[in-house]
Amino acid sequence: MDSNQQPVLRVTELTKTYTSGGTGLTVLDHVSFSIGAGVSCSIIGPSGSGKTTLLGLCAGLDLPSSGSVELSGHELGIKSEDELARIRNRHIGFVFQSFQLIPTLTAIENVMVPVELRGGAYEPVYNLAKQLLTEVGLSHRLDHYPTQLSGGEQQRVAIARAFINEPGILFADEPTGNLDTETGEQIEQILFDLNRKKGTTLVVVTHDNELAARCDRIIRLKAGRIQSDELTRETIPAETNEIPA
């Protein structure tokens, strides 16, 4: 991995406060870190620690109360909603706990969506999607609708979809949370294999310590603050994976 390259994700003094009934509730409190290219990083913590909020802010799904998020060189806080959508489309892949496939589209059509949204020609996109579905072991399920697929198969479609736009970073929110252990392990394997093969940065939000341990780095959140940030591998260049003091 190139140690001179810029971090893919840089989070600086990120704070998110929700106001309800005149009372402010700070969910994230001055969180800072950065993650380099190709690194896998898990964010763990108990319920209500701010994991999902952090993931949402990092992926440009929400705007911070203060602080900044820089993703692939783009400062997210100053972008409009549509600009954020374009950034997500080109630089980010998502894998959700509940798969989130579009029920009216077949497996291959679901995989094609991110590239088709930018107006990609049908044929090459179809071939690429087919190749990805083959890689996740679903070459025989191309034309099946989500309701015709098992949970594990649906998540594999979601992973193929997440990789089709060759994102710089992939956010996975409890990717195995809705699956049984065996299927979960298969999904993890596919996720990490593709991550390595494509050189994508992987950010996983999870409760699962075993899954977290498979990542290069673990960020522990508690009450909206980073409790710990550890490298699980020696190979990670420290300058692109800035760990706050």
Q: What's the burial of 192, exposed, middle or buried (CB within 10 Å: 0-12/13-18/19+)?
A: middle
Q: What token pair was written down for 57? A: 């802010």
Considering only 3, 66, 98, 189, the residue that binds another protein (CB under 8 A) is 98
Residue 147 engages another protein in binding (rule: CB under 8 A): yes
Considering only 39, 76, 112, 226, the residue that binds another protein (CB under 8 A) is 112
Considering only 12, 30, 61, 185, the residue that binds another protein (CB under 8 A) is 61
Residue 142 engages another protein in binding (rule: CB under 8 A): no
- DSSP of 2-34, one letter per residue? -TTSPPSEEEEEEEEEEEETTEEEEEEEEEEEE
- In this structure, the strands spanning 201-206 and 169-173 are parallel
Cβ neighbour number for residue 235 with a 10 Å cutoff: 8
Q: Are 194 and 95 in contact (CB under 8 A)?
A: no
Residue 217 engages another protein in binding (rule: CB under 8 A): no
Q: What token pair was written down for 10? A: 């840089």
- Of all helices (H) and strands (E), which one includes residue 102? none
Considering only 104, 140, 182, 245, the residue that binds another protein (CB under 8 A) is 104
Considering only 3, 13, 75, 117, the residue that binds another protein (CB under 8 A) is 117
Residue 190 engages another protein in binding (rule: CB under 8 A): no
Considering only 72, 126, 216, 241, the residue that binds another protein (CB under 8 A) is 126
Nearest to 112 by CA among 71, 152, 143: 143
Residue 233 engages another protein in binding (rule: CB under 8 A): no
Closest approach, Cβ 98 to another protein, in A, equals 6
Interface residues with another protein (CB under 8 A) are 52, 55-56, 59, 61-62, 81-82, 85-90, 92, 94, 96-98, 100, 102-105, 109, 112-114, 116-119, 122-123, 126, 147, 161, 165, 173
